[in-house]
């Protein structure tokens, strides 16, 4: 596209972005002696950034002119994926960390300021997003306490399958 952009959902995790005014947070930039010109133009999640330039298209094996769309912060994109796109909905994600995502219509949430609020990947919405950084340990605990047969099958497979894959397969059934 030839544009240098920064997506607002990801930037709202950086402490450089003002989620109330949807701009770079000037007091923080001043404190760090950092010019916003070094950070890129802010775009919303899902915003069309421009068309793929011919050289980039050729390098990627794509046709020139493909529309490039800004992505979103992982938890916001995941919330969209499960339909959590309007205020009042709640979703949960467990992986390396455990997070709860609550869609809200205004920045705010935790009066103590300890729980992050981000720009949501859904338009005109914010994401209240408490994080448990060791949430993935819950999966290990579950595997160790309830997945003994899957763990044994995984070990017997010589690495062809993991206990987590086998447990996920059971959950999908």
Number of CB atoms found within 10 A of residue 58's CB: 12
List the chain domain ranges: 5-69, 74-132, 137-172
Q: Are 24 and 39 in contact (CB under 8 A)?
A: yes
Q: Which of 43, 48, 54, 46 is nearest to 67 (CA)?
A: 48
Phi/psi of residue 126, nearest 5 degrees: -115, 165
pLDDT at 114: 82
Helices (H), the chain: 8-11, 26-31, 54-60, 74-81, 136-146, 148-156, 163-172
| Contact of 28 with 36, CB cutoff 8 Å | no
Place of tokens 């020139």: 64
3-state secondary structure of 62: coil
C-alpha to C-alpha distance for 77 and 72, rounded to whole angstroms: 6
pLDDT tens-digit map of 14-64: 999 999 999 999 999 999 999 999 999 999 999 999 999 999 999 999 998
% the chain with pLDDT above 70? 99
What's the CA gap between 156 and 28, in Å, rounded?
54
Q: What is the pLDDT, as a whole number, of residue 168?
A: 85
- What pLDDT digit, counting tens, does each position of 146-167 carry? 888 998 988 898 878 888 888 8
CA-to-CA distance for 120 and 44, rounded, in angstroms? 9
What does pTM read for this prediction?
0.77
């Amino acid at each position: 596209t030839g544009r240098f952009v920064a997506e607002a959902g990801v930037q709202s995790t950086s402490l450089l972005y003002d989620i109330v005014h949807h701009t770079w947070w000037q007091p923080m930039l001043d404190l760090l002696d950092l010019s916003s010109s070094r950070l890129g133009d802010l775009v919303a999640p899902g915003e069309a950034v421009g068309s793929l330039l011919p050289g980039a298209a050729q390098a990627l094996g794509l046709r020139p002119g493909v529309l490039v769309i800004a992505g979103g912060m992982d938890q916001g994109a995941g919330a969209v994926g499960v339909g959590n796109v309007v205020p009042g909905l709640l979703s949960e994600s467990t992986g390396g960390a455990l997070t709860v995502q609550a869609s809200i219509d205004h920045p705010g949430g935790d009066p103590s300021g300890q729980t992050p609020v981000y720009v949501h990947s859904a338009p005109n919405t914010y994401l209240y997003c408490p994080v448990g950084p060791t949430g993935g340990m819950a999966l290990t605990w579950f595997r160790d306490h309830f997945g003994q047969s899957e763990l044994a099958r995984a070990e017997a497979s010589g690495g062809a399958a993991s206990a987590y894959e086998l447990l996920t397969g059971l959950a999908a059934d």
